Structure 1
Amino acid sequence: MDVVLHALALLIGALMPVQVGINASLRALLGDPLLAGLVNMVVGLVCVLLVLMLLRVPWPTAAAMASVPAWGWLGGAIGAAVVVVSLVAGPKLGAATLFVLVVAGQIAASMLLDHFGVLGYPVRPMSVLRIVGALMLIAGVVLIVKN
């Protein structure tokens, strides 16, 4: 199962710059990054709704929805910010620079989340090897951004 999850993560990573390119084209056609972001989110919503209906996933109860902590609703806002920022930054920075910067941010945040085991992640303490690995990846970011 881990091999499948690794492969899916790699595939999603490969599709992200494709998504930004598609959204940037949409932005050019619609004339605004927020409109392009809205189209992206609406299409995503429709796709998820279709899958939920096909799989017959039961809807949560009102009590379950009310029990979600305030921070639990931020994922959608973060997703919208990712789409809109990539729409604005992608065409100016280029795919490689945008995504190595995104990856650098992901590495830093991920290591902190793992170290403290927050948001449901298992605790994976910082170690010299993990820090060296992160620094090597960040060095790669610098080399790509400096071009």
Structure 2
Amino acid sequence: MNPALLSMIAVVLAGGATALQAPTNAKLMGAMSSPVNAAFVSFAVGTAALGIVAMILQTKPDVEAARGLPWYAWVGGLYGAIFVVSAAWGVPRLGVAMTITLMVAGQLLVGLILDHFGAFGMPQQPISPGRAAGVVLVFVGVLMVRRF
């Protein structure tokens, strides 16, 4: 199978998992009395799962390479925590589709800007009319999900 196609399928499935994560964490939020508590439990379960997979795959980190990373390479988990807390809080108020649509819109907007500048050492991909139109269409989708 084409590696690019396989990557796209994997990312679409991960997006589906994100859509599943939002309502399950919202349900957990109700029992835990706060979106922060729900996110804490969610990350604890995720950490345990990743630990098991790392043991099975016998992966070992390159400690020397990790020491040389810039500060921003260490804060990805913080962004994930914000995402999970926001989703758990947003779903009961906005619904699953609206919450996920808004999150995707925000991801695309920031992604477009990061690509344009080649932020964090990533390949630079300038904003083009077509790429900008794609993001605008997602925001139109937000309005359609909200109004229809």
Alignment correspondent of 1:31: 33
Count of matched residue positions in the alignment of Structure 1 and Structure 2: 146
Aligned partner (choices 50, 59, 62) of residue 61 of structure 2: 59
After superposition, where does 1:1-147 map in structure 2 within 5 Å? 1-61=3-63, 63-147=64-148
SS at match of 1:131: helix
* Structure 1 unaligned spans of 5+: none
User: Residue 56 of structure 2 aligns to which amino acid in structure 1?
Assistant: L
Gaps in structure 2 of 5+ consecutive residues: none
Q: CA deviation at 1:83?
A: 0.7
Cα 1:60/1:132, change in 2 over 3 Å: same
Identity across the alignment (%)? 31
- Residue 6 of structure 1, CA deviation: 0.7
Q: Note the C-alpha offset of 1:113.
A: 1.2
Q: Which runs of 4+ in 1 moved over 4 A?
A: none
Aligned CA RMSD, in angstroms, stands at: 1.4
Matched to 2:140, the amino acid is: A
CA distance in 2, matches of 1:29, 1:75: 27
* CA deviation vs aligned residue, 1:45-75 (integer Å, no higher than 9, x gap): 11111111111111332x4333222111110
Q: How far off its partner does 1:40 sit? A: 0.4
Q: What secondary structure is seen at the aligned counterpart in 2 of 1:59?
A: coil
CA distance in 2, matches of 1:83, 1:117: 26
Q: 1:59 to 1:129 in 2, by over 3 A?
A: closer
Q: Deviation digits for residues 71-110 of structure 1, max 9, x if unmatched?
A: 1111011101111111111111101111111111111111
2-side partners of 1:82 and 1:137: how far apart? Answer: 19
**Aligned to 1:68, what secondary structure does the other structure show?**
coil
Deviation at 1:129, TM superposition (A): 1.5
Distance in 1 separating the partners of 2:128 and 2:92: 37
Per-residue deviation at 1:145? 2.0
Separation (CA, whole Å) in 2 of partners of 1:6 and 1:81: 25
Q: TM-score, normalised by structure 1?
A: 0.91
| Deviation by residue 1:110-129 (Cα, 9 ceiling, x = unmatched) | 11111111124322111111
